[in-house]
A = this chain, B = another copy of it.
Amino acid sequence: MSTSLGIDIGGTNIKAAVVHADGRVAAFETSAWSGGAAADAFETIERLAAAVGDASGVPLDTCGCGCAGLVDHETGIVRSSPNLPQWHDVRLAEELARRLRIPVLVENDANAAAYGEYSAGAARGATNAVMVTIGTGIGGGIVLDGSIYRGSHGFAAEIGHSVIDLSGGVRCACGSTGCVEPLVNAASLVVQAKQRMEEGEESVLAERAAPLTARAVGEAAAAGDSLARRVTDDIGRTLGVLLANIVAYLDPDVIVIGGGVAAAGSSLMDAANAEFAERTAKYQGMATRIVMAELGDTAGVVGAALLAGSSRP
């Protein structure tokens, strides 16, 4: 059974794992890094690869590397990356293959995570799946009939920048207005709760000494705080509309929800599921399931490793 090295390069962390062909993780390491020059990332990756290789004691046949940003899957080049501002046309696959002395496949990080959940996580057994990762932004990944769908120019699944609020005025970091990303993210829970308190609404959250977090808003909602509940309900309802839109476009078996927004707990997802059920009642017999991600922090490394393993000649 082949065993692969999985790497996941983000803006603040690099992760590495040794992953068996069935998705089991034999060893896993994370290292903080600056998000600076590519050369620094290469050194961190070499060190992590040696560490997980030693820890697992398994020979590695191939490597898959997920990376934030616009990745050319065919050539293994990272064109650009909002989270890695110094990276332009970095020959990632070539450089890692030279250093690790195994074949390296490069993939966008959201696609790699979606492939991980599809192959060995919450979307196991599905034919078509969409993964929505909600943290500081919204990432998307589409897997259709076993293959990542990347689109014609590598921009598919940019669902955070689909417009759902044409006549609303919220501006997105991308320059457009009405995108779903600024409406549904982990920070928006905190921002909306603070705004309501400044407008004079009462909440148990006002008595907190520590800085407000998405988790705290979620916990207050679960405990029945009405302000926190209105915030999780509002954002959850908007998420439900996004999920219904994903069905309108792609009608998958399953939509997997991952990322920091899960910390907000069940109140937000209850609202999202209620809105989703209302919006999709018209598709009689439609049965897209909404599930929470299972692989957590390791989705990206598992997906990258399994992709590399599956594409071996």
Residues in A lying within 8 Å of B, measured CB to CB: 80, 126-128, 144, 149-159, 161-168, 174-176, 178, 238, 241, 244-253, 278-279, 281-288
Q: Which residue of B lies closest to A249 (CB)?
A: B249
- Tell me, rounded to whole Å, the shortest Cβ–Cβ distance linking A236 to chain B: 13
- Tell me, rounded to whole Å, the shortest Cβ–Cβ distance linking A277 to chain B: 12
Is B166 in contact with A238, judged by CB distance below 8 angstroms? yes
Instruction: Report the separation of the CA atoms of residues A245 and B168 in the bound assembly, to the nearest whole angstrom.
Output: 16
Known interface pairs A164-B163, A166-B238, A241-B163. Does A251 touch B156 (Cβ–Cβ under 8 Å)? yes
29 contacts between A and B (CB under 8 A): A128-B151, A128-B152, A149-B250, A151-B250, A153-B251, A153-B285, A153-B288, A155-B248, A155-B251, A155-B283, A155-B286, A156-B250, A157-B249, A158-B248, A158-B251, A159-B248, A163-B164, A163-B244, A163-B245, A164-B164, A164-B166, A165-B165, A165-B167, A166-B166, A166-B241, A167-B167, A167-B168, A174-B282, A176-B282
Beyond A127-B152, A165-B165, 10 additional contacts (C-beta under 8 Å) are A151-B252, A157-B249, A158-B247, A159-B248, A159-B249, A161-B282, A162-B248, A163-B244, A166-B168, A249-B249
Q: Chain B contacts of A178 at CB under 8 A? A: 164, 241
Q: Which residue of B lies closest to A154 (CB)?
A: B251
Is A153 in contact with B286, judged by CB distance below 8 angstroms? yes
Is A282 in contact with B175, judged by CB distance below 8 angstroms? yes
